Amino acid sequence: MTDITDPIELFGKWYDEATKLDAHEPTSVVLATATKDAVPSARVMLLKGFDERGFRVFTNLTGRKGRELLENPKAALCFYWDKMDRQVRVEGDVERVEGHEADEYFASRSRESRIGAWASKQSNVMENPDDLMSRVNEITEQFAGEQIPRPPFWDGFRIKPNVIEFWEKRDFRLHKRTVFRKSQTGWDFEILYP
């Protein structure tokens, strides 16, 4: 049993440990979404923040993940820190972040990344590989000497957890699993068989 009864606090502790271990990319997370017809898809992304409200990711709204998050606002996250032999799974409802949050994160990105966000027609078929660099050059010229604003088709999402499961590797596959479920009074937790 864990001595921490708040899963966000426990996640923060594990996240800090992963960061201190100098894990290659401790913010890497698999985001799973589904279409409105329940066709699933998953991809690796980078977590861009978390707090008691949930876990934040950012993306192009016209790409597959953006469209799926808008059409079916349910998602799952899976973190795996191999140096620590730990995994965290999150399931929850999805909401768009507030505009100022998306603006702040977008402004923190490198200029090249902001240009890339404008230039990419994420998830669309690229007929000619030269088209992307042409678009990059056009956007670079368009915003020469100016701040690059957040595109209207680019935003952030918050996965508001209903379930958070913590997994720790143990010998002989007798792993430790603790699952937290959101309740009306906070969080309830249970220990699961491996």
Given the residues 96, 173, 177, 181, the one annotated as active site: 173
H helix intervals, 27-98: 64-71
Active site residue 181: no
Q: Is 167 exposed, middle or buried (0-12, 13-18, 19+ CB in 10 A)?
A: buried
Q: What would the two tokens of residue 156 be?
A: 């952030």
Run of H or E residues at 96: strand 86-96
Cβ atoms of residues 110 and 89 within 8 Å: no
**What is the number of other CB atoms lying within 10 angstroms of the CB of residue 38?**
8
Enzyme catalytic residues = 173
